[in-house]
Amino acid sequence: MPFKKILCPVDFSDNAREALRRAADLVKATGGSLTLFHVVHVPITSYADAGPMMPSSGPELTNQLGKEAEGSLADWKKRAEEMGVKQVATQVVAGVPWSMIVDLLEADRSYDLVVMGTHGRTGLSRVLLGSVAERVVRHAPCAVLVVRQS
């Protein structure tokens, strides 16, 4: 089955960069499209920790981080185009990463595949931090390719 529409969630890590490379290879092979997707996640505790140079309210902080993410995602889009991907879209939303990824996939059933990086945490760190990739694998209505940089 050729993958025509691929979602690549991006957290700007090295593992996400490797996932982008793999997604770009798949899209080029099928002539499909790629969507780079970033979720701004600001835990409630971060609002109290905001320093003097940070916005004081939750929505202001989320908006600022969203604007920064849009700029970074534009750079990633350019990188994908340099890799030969012809159709690249970007989207930034705010929320809980795994949930927003699954919500997008549920709302738009035309996605064939998710290609995403993972940090590969195990043991207590995985339990405490959770695994976005693991939750997406469990709940996504389409195939998921999890990429870990070696």
Q: How far is residue 22's CA from residue 18's CA, in Å, rounded to a whole number? A: 6
**Summary mean pLDDT of the chain:** 85
Q: How far is residue 128's CA from residue 78's CA, in Å, rounded to a whole number? A: 35
Which tens digit of pLDDT belongs to each residue from 94-117?
Answer: 999 999 999 999 999 999 999 999
Q: How far is residue 59's CA from residue 65's CA, in Å, rounded to a whole number? A: 10
Residue 119: strand, helix, or coil: coil
In the chain the domains, ranked by start, together with CATH numbers, are 5-147 (3.40.50.620)
Buried b (16+ CB within 10 A) or exposed e, 27-52: beebebbbbbbbbbbbeeeebeeeee
